Amino acid sequence: MSDDPRMSGARAAPKRRIRLSWSDPAFRAIVWQIVIAGVVVAIGWYLFSNTNRNLSARRIATGFGFLDRVAGIPIGESLISYNPAEDTYGRALWIGVLNTLKVAVIGVVLATLLGTVIGIGRLSSNWLMAKLTAFYVETIRDIPLLLQLLFWYTMLQGLPAPRQSWRIGDAVFLSNRGIKVPYLIWETAHTWAFYGFVAGTIGTFLWNRRANAAQERTGIRPAVWPVGLAAMLGLPLAIWGIMGAPMAWELPVLRGFNFQGGGTVSPEYFALLAGLVLYTAGYIAEIVRSGIQAIAVGQWEAAGALGLRRGAILRHIVLPQALRVIIPPMTSQYLNLTKNSSLAVAIGFQDVVSIANTTLNQTGQAVEGIAVIMAVYLTISLSISLFMNWYNARIALVGR
Amino acid sequence: MTRFARWGIGAPILAGLFAGVLAIGSARADGSGSATMDATRAKGQLACGVSGQVPGFSLPDSQGVMRGLDADTCRAVTAAVLGDAAKVKFVPTTAQNRFTALQSGEIDVLSRSTTWTLGREGNLGLNFAWVNYYDGTGFLVKKAAGVKSAKELDNATICVQPGTSTELAIADYFRVSKMKFTPILIQELSEIQGAFLSGRCDAYSTDASALATFRFSQGPKADDLVLLPDIISKEPLGVMVRKGDDKWFDMVRWTFAAMIVAEEKGITQANVDTFLTSTDPETRRLLGVEGEMGKALGLDPKFAYNVIKAVGNLGEMWDRNITPMGVPRGINNLWTKGGLQYAPPMR
């Protein structure tokens, strides 16, 4: 038995008993919660059953059976294979989800990098830098995103036709059909080299932890970068070299109407990504700036008195503290970027909204189609929120 | 239509479905025997869904008056129900929200170059009442590309509106022909046409009629565009109504029949009054001089007279709207002239 006095019955708080009386606040609270929950459920049930009854009365098809039917709709770009003659609406919608994620994930990363650089730039003592970044933020935030997307898309359409494309050697082509790049022909050696890279990364991480421990113990930090270089770059290269160093490129070749072979960045994707990144970066810049300015100037002065340079102060002293201010509003920006990607419909990038719209129009099942879109965005947004909340809790000040 | 009309697909769909489904559920059947007809008469207005963007079919002229075959179809049914074609209310719809607009009761008739297919009639709770244009999917290309036939479009990039029967037709066509294509799918009509003109796509595909009128609307630059001779699908463009209101369906169907009979008999907008004294029995029944044809449909006995007075016969609608675009009437002619338009007898 524990000696903790709280554990002994005599010292524990008296257990409250709920009386079945209106004068008991605990009882009232429970009753109200049941009533409100009941009303919410009843309204939801009414809307659902009423819609269902009337849809069937009007002989409009209902249910999610259409997800298993062959789609037949063409899709422009897809991360996974798709054949309209065989694949289902379910797979078509999944392609849409992947396309949305392709924009959202890369967009969030690029917007964070660009926004941080611009945010720091606004605080620069360099007059030109400070004014240029301020101009950027004020301009980009004042123009509706839809107009920016249409602007970028129109600009890309103004590029030359494939036959007159701008080129770098015989490898990279820029035309109104997008950016064509050589495509590495993937072989087993590359897969193993990739595994080597993963192993090297884990190894570097572990070595870094050891270095930290050694530094705390002895005050001397073992060098990390040579180990990192060897593990993350040397190991994959060695594996690749041992397996015969295959390096065959598939070059884009102009044949008929368009380039065949090679990889493509379509104008639709590029316009959407550029528009979202540039727009969101404007907001992120302000969040970063406000986060840095929220740190007391005494922190800068104290670090300066220790002899640290400005960059080192920013990286080691100010930014870690500023992150606590930055993360919560940053979550909103990530959610905004993800949801704004639905504007893809306007410029013909086939995200989940675009494909779901087509699906609901071809099947006539509007309620189900919209439900799919809502479920997808809810899932993505909740995942982002959960991750950011976890990260926020991790970097929060720990009360000691 | 504003740029933002394309967002009419999200929340308004749900709201519209709920509202419309509630409204229809509570409508009573009395009077004419058609809930839609009663509601239309009570409002004194017929809401007719059109595109509002396609020359020759529905496009406002310089005075803001909606012109075109689809627009005149709306006027014809309005004249049949309300006696006055001016009581039509044109509702612009997109390729994607058109069916929902009709299902939810926002519009009473959909006349928007919509292809009659089994899937649509079976799944959407909607009926096709008549075909106002027998069409087919075609391709428009730039003359500079030097393409002579759709068979040469392997690996082409093709601009097409999503949610249309065109997108399914070209997917089928390329599959059967063992060719590949890259689709560019943009909902907004002006954007997809802009993408084609700027060279983002090698071809622009939709109903051949719309391609012809689009080419015509380019003015002097029309000669830079070539309409390929291949028609790769059947696209009967029809007039749609909601299922479950048979009287309303009958009204639309017989309005068309009346316009066809009028063309057969040579009755036009200009000379219809002189036919009121005709001795031909079918003409007399058509114009309501004799018999109770209109009443059987829940309409004014002179409904056909009102229709012809408002928009003329079927041939006049064609000559007014499509002929200026340089499209021959072809299979859209009367059955007596080798076409497909054939009306059951008015008796």
Tell me the per-residue pLDDT of A363-383, one tens digit each, with 9 for 90 and over. Answer: 888 889 999 999 999 999 999
SS3 category, B92:
strand
Q: How high is the pLDDT of residue B306?
A: 96
For residue B6, give the chain A residue with the closest CA: A346
pLDDT at res. A56? 84
* pLDDT value for A365: 85
- Residue A62: both structure tokens together: 């209902």
The predicted complex's ipTM stands at 0.76
- pLDDT reported for residue A396: 80
CA distance A182 to chain B (A): 19
CB contact under 8 A, B145 and A350: no
Contact A76 B183 (CB under 8 A): yes
- Helices B35-43 and B69-82: angle between axes, nearest 10 degrees: 90
- Is B4's pLDDT higher than 50? no
Q: Which residues, 6 or more positions from A100, have their beta carbon under 8 angstroms from its beta carbon?
A: A338, A341, A342, A344, A351, A352, A353, A376, A380
Query: Which residue shows structure tokens 């992947």?
Result: A98
How many A×B Cβ pairs under 8 Å?
148
A59 burial (CB, 10 Å; 0-12 / 13-18 / 19+) is middle
Q: Does A163 touch chain B (CB under 8 A)?
A: no
Distance CA A127, CA A24 (A): 66
Cβ within 8 Å, pair A347-B186: yes
φ, ψ for residue A260, nearest 5 deg: -110, 150
Q: Is A226 on the interface with B (CB under 8 A)?
A: no
pLDDT band at B27 (very low <50, low <70, confident <90, very high): very low
Mean of the per-residue pLDDT values for chain B? 89
Partners of A158 on chain B (C-beta within 8 Å) are: 198
What pLDDT is attached to residue B8?
44
The CA distance from A133 to B295, in Å, is 74
Q: Please, where are the H alpha helices in A126-259?
A: 127-142, 145-157, 188-218, 225-229, 235-242
Instruction: Note the maximum CA span of chain B.
Output: 63
- CA atoms of A64 and A365, how far apart (whole Å): 9
Q: Residues B44-57: what's their mean pLDDT? A: 94
- Among the listed residues B195, B311, B231, B32, the one whose alpha carbon sits nearest the alpha carbon of residue A153: B195
| Phi then psi dihedrals of residue A144, to 5 deg | -55, 140
Q: Say whether A258 and B182 touch across the interface (CB within 8 A).
A: yes
Beta strands in A210-355, from DSSP E residues, in sequence order: 249-250, 253-255, 258-260, 263-265
On whether the CB atoms of residues B272 and B261 are closer than 8 A, the answer is no
- pLDDT in single tens digits along all 400 residues of chain A: 445 555 555 555 566 677 788 888 888 999 999 999 999 999 999 999 998 888 888 778 888 888 998 988 889 888 888 988 889 999 999 999 999 999 999 999 999 999 999 999 999 889 999 999 999 999 999 999 999 999 999 999 888 888 888 888 788 888 888 888 888 888 888 889 899 999 999 999 999 999 989 988 888 888 888 888 888 889 889 988 888 888 888 888 877 777 877 788 899 999 999 999 999 999 999 999 999 999 999 999 999 999 999 889 988 899 889 998 999 999 999 999 999 999 998 898 999 999 998 898 888 888 899 999 999 999 999 999 999 999 999 888 766 5
Q: Above pLDDT 90, what percent of chain B?
A: 75
| Partners of A376 in the β-ladder | none
Residues B77-131 pLDDT 10s: 999 999 999 999 999 998 878 998 999 899 999 999 999 999 899 888 899 999 9
Strands (E), B217-311: 225-227, 235-242
Question: Looking at chain B, which residue has its C-alpha nearest residue A175?
Answer: B200
Check: CB of residue A183 under 8 Å from CB of residue A263: yes
Burial of B22 (0-12, 13-18, 19+ CB in 10 A): middle
CA dihedral A320, A325, A329, A335 (to 10 degrees): 30
Neighbours of B254 (CB within 10 A): 25
Structure-token pair, residue B60: 């406002």
Give the up-direction half-sphere exposure of residue A240: CA atoms within 13 A in the CB hemisphere: 18
Pairing mode, if any, of strands B109-115 and B46-50? parallel
What is the reported pLDDT for A5? 52
Residue A163 C-alpha, separation from nearest chain B C-alpha, in angstroms: 11
Q: Determine the Cα angle at A274 with ends B190 and A76, to 5°.
A: 55
Contact of A255 with chain B, judged by CB distance below 8 Å, is answered with yes
Helix H or strand E segment including A380: helix A366-395
Q: Do B21 and A267 touch (CB under 8 A)?
A: no
Structural domain boundaries in chain A: 89-159+266-395
Radius of gyration over every alpha carbon of chain A, rounded to an integer in angstroms: 28
Q: Is A46 on the interface with B (CB under 8 A)?
A: no
CATH architecture of A89-159+266-395: Orthogonal Bundle (1.10)
- Check pLDDT > 60 for residue B47: yes
The structure tokens listed for A78 are 């897809």
Residues whose CB is less than 8 angstroms from the CB of residue B260 and which lie 6 or more positions away in sequence, other chains included: B313, B314, B334, B341, B342, B343
CA distance B257 to B241: 16
Looking at chain A from residue 339 to 378, which residues have their Cβ under 8 Å from any Cβ of chain B? Answer: 345-348, 350, 354, 357-358, 361-367, 370, 373
In chain B, the percentage of residues whose pLDDT exceeds 70 is: 91
Q: Please, which pLDDT band fits residue B6 given cuts at 50, 70 and 90?
A: very low
B31-58 burial, b at 16+ Cβ within 10 Å, e below that, comes to ebebbbbbbbbeeeebbbbbbbbbbbbb
Which residues, other chains included, contact B227 with Cβ-Cβ below 8 Å and sequence gap of 6+? Answer: B138, B139, B140, B208, B211, B212, B215
Q: How far apart are CA A92 and CA B167, in angstroms?
A: 14
Between CA B97 and CA B124 the distance in angstroms is: 12
Which residues 128-157 on chain A approach chain B with CB closer than 8 angstroms? 146, 150, 154, 157
Nearest to B162 among A72, A358, A370 (CB): A358
The domains located in chain B, with CATH, are: 3-135+236-337 (3.40.190.10), 137-233 (3.40.190.10)
Best mutation target, B127, B178, B198, to test chain A (most A CBs within 10 A) = B198
